[in-house]
Amino acid sequence: MLPLTAENKRVAQLLLSTGTCPRCIFRFCGVDFHAPYKLPYKELLSELQKFLEAEEDELVSEVPNPPPKKIRLQEPEDRIDGMDSLSQNGEGKLSVTEDGSSSSKNSNLNVCNVCLGILQDFCEKEFIKKQSLSLGRNDIVQLKEAYKWITHPLFSEELGVPIDGKSLFEVSVVFAHPETVEDCHFLSAICPDCFKPAKNKQSVFTRMAVMKALNKIKEEDFRKQFPCPPDSPKAVCTVLEIECAHGAVFVAGRYNKYSRNLPQTPWIIDGERKLESSVEELISDHLLKVFKAESFNFSSSGREDVDVRTLGNGRPFAIELVNPHRVHFTSQEIKELQQKINNSSNKIQVRDLQLVTREAIGHMKEGEEEKTKTYSALIWTNKAIQRKDIEFLDDIKDLKIDQKTPLRVLHRRPLAVRTRIIHSMETRYVDEHHFRLSLKTQAGTYIKEFVHGDFGRTKPNIGSLMDVTADILELDVESQVVHFGKYLIKNSPPAHNKREGGNFCTWESSQYK
């Protein structure tokens, strides 16, 4: 028994007569449970014909002065408006015979006129509305959903595992249909603003772009270019390839950087590499091998300059591993991986390495403005100074400064004036031209510019406060206080570190244990 009601009969008959397959008829009638879609095509077609024959007298009585012999609904004298664009050989057309039965001629050999493309699906829906027929509901079942309902049992049987719609393991099937591949190209001439090239798109004819154009195009312009209802294709689509892939896995932790000659990410200018390695590569190279991933994406909570060390509890980072071929690791294996990274270089150290959720990564960059950071700087002055000349800096609290975008980053940052807060400072006298300055500041403060002033672009600055010319010789990030919303930060036991001590921290999520 088909899951169709009496109100679906007119729509079902109209769709079948235009060459639409039974499963697409279910979609248009809003059948949103799986079982009917899984039935064999011939069985579906037979059941559909029985459904239409059940009250065929009603259909015949609606035709004015029906002839006693069999009639064809597509014939000019009594066709429904808009059905003159059916396939030329007459395949797939519904007939009402003299004995009251209905048939779809050669329909078991037909290719559906709807399920091969966006345009076909769109104009068939509009065609039904033109006939003043209700689809019964607005939310037509999407083709991809029906496809899943049909193929999931097949994959499950073949692979011998149950199907889980939330699984990170995905099987992608790529189809090709040369006959209809250029159907939507006419839209780019009529709505060129909808089809703009993008970096990562192989074609401008994306689903979103086509749907945007279909919402803008005038009906008369569309009907000049595309038949409504759509013609039945002559050939079926072919499978180009089947790809198996695993959803991305995310690894997070904190890193310390001990080198003053190491960028965070590969330093490449005009295609030329400036330094041989980077923090990103020293960590990710090991992860790629162990997780057997195709590629990765590196992100962190802020970044340091190439000549700045990151000490203390380290900088939070996360790496997205794309299509990993191994995803299950014990906590001991993760610890061994962390140790392997740390043994491979004396330029960096990693701590608190762990698997996290995608959601946790999003929280890493929350509240950038509210974070506080502690720095240590070695400062030079042009004038000779005494210990008393720097002591007043210790008494300054929550100093507001205005920083115009520094000259050194103006090529990649918008020009703006940003207000930042220097929460506290602590000085340590070295000699008459040098002193150490420890600062606790709002995240996003340009420390180098706060020291030398950047030609007056940062006001006030250490130079103006001391009435000297000041410059920074060394800078270290000592610690970062980072809050991750509902992701808690807790201190973990300190590990042996020959360079720096300090507290460690880990992410903890209620969704991932």
Instruction: Render pLDDT for 61-73 as a digit per residue (tens, 0 to 9).
Output: 333 333 333 323 3
Domain count within the chain: 4
* Residue range 98-108: mean pLDDT, rounded: 40
422 and 304 co-located in one domain: no
Q: Identify the domain containing residue 416 by its residue range.
A: 373-480
Which of the four pLDDT bands, split at 50, 70 and 90, describes residue 154?
Answer: confident
Which of 52-66, 203-217, 249-263 has the least mean pLDDT?
A: 52-66
158 and 19 co-located in one domain: yes
Encode 190-216: b = buried (16+ Cβ within 10 Å), e = exposed. Answer: ebeebbeeeeeeeeebeeebbebbbee
Q: Which pTM was predicted?
A: 0.68
259 and 184 co-located in one domain: no
Out of 167, 188, 204, a domain closes at: 167
393 and 472 co-located in one domain: yes
From residue 399, how far is each of 84, 396, 456 by CA, in Å?
A: 79, 7, 17
CATH number at residue 287: 3.30.70.2510
CA angle 146, 148, 152 (to 5 degrees): 135
347 and 432 co-located in one domain: no
Give the pairing type, strands 372-381 and 434-442. Answer: antiparallel
Which of the four pLDDT bands, split at 50, 70 and 90, describes residue 100?
Answer: very low
Place of tokens 């004298």: 77
* Cβ(487)–Cβ(508) below 8 Å: yes
Tokens of 253: 């932790």
CATH number at residue 148: 1.10.10.2050
Q: Where are the alpha helices (DSSP H) in 175-272?
A: 186-190, 207-216, 219-225
387 and 436 co-located in one domain: yes
Out of 120, 152, 167, a domain closes at: 167
pLDDT of residue 371: 81
428 within some domain: yes
427 within some domain: yes
pLDDT > 80? residue 243: yes
pLDDT of residue 499: 38
72 within some domain: no
Which of the four pLDDT bands, split at 50, 70 and 90, describes residue 207?
Answer: confident
Which of the four pLDDT bands, split at 50, 70 and 90, describes residue 137?
Answer: low
* Residue range 378-405: mean pLDDT, rounded: 97
320 within some domain: yes
273 and 333 co-located in one domain: yes
* Cβ(171)–Cβ(244) below 8 Å: yes
Give the pairing type, strands 372-381 and 268-269. Answer: unpaired
CATH number at residue 384: 3.30.70.3190
The residues facing 232 across adjacent strands are none
- Backbone φ, ψ for residue 381 (5° rounding): -125, 150
From residue 267, how far is each of 88, 260, 349, 435 by CA, in Å?
A: 62, 14, 20, 31
* Cβ(10)–Cβ(42) below 8 Å: no
- Three-class SS of residue 407? helix
272 and 384 co-located in one domain: no
Q: Which DSSP state fits 179?
A: G
pLDDT of residue 61: 36
Which of 247, 116, 117, 242 is closest to 172 using CA atoms?
Answer: 242
342 and 475 co-located in one domain: no
42 within some domain: yes
105 within some domain: no
Residue positions annotated with a catalytic role: 305
Instruction: In whole angstroms, give the CA distance from residue 117 to residue 180.
Output: 8
- Backbone φ, ψ for residue 282 (5° rounding): -65, -30
* Cβ(82)–Cβ(127) below 8 Å: yes
* Residue range 176-183: mean pLDDT, rounded: 88
pLDDT > 90? residue 108: no
From residue 341, how far is each of 345, 350, 428 by CA, in Å?
A: 7, 7, 36
160 and 33 co-located in one domain: yes
* Residue range 448-463: mean pLDDT, rounded: 97
79 within some domain: no
Which of the four pLDDT bands, split at 50, 70 and 90, describes residue 368?
Answer: low
Name residue 371's amino acid. Answer: K
**Chain centre to alpha carbon of residue 139:** 24
206 within some domain: yes
237 and 257 co-located in one domain: no
* Cβ(57)–Cβ(102) below 8 Å: no
pLDDT of residue 134: 56
Out of 370, 404, 436, a domain closes at: 370
* Cβ(183)–Cβ(194) below 8 Å: no
pLDDT over 70 percentage in the chain: 79
pLDDT > 70? residue 489: no
pLDDT of residue 148: 87
Tokens of 325: 């071929």
pLDDT of residue 88: 31
pLDDT of residue 348: 97
pLDDT > 60? residue 279: yes
Which of the four pLDDT bands, split at 50, 70 and 90, describes residue 165?
Answer: confident
377 and 267 co-located in one domain: no
Q: What is the pLDDT of residues 294-346, one digit of tens each?
A: 999 999 988 999 999 999 989 999 999 999 999 999 999 999 999 999 999 99
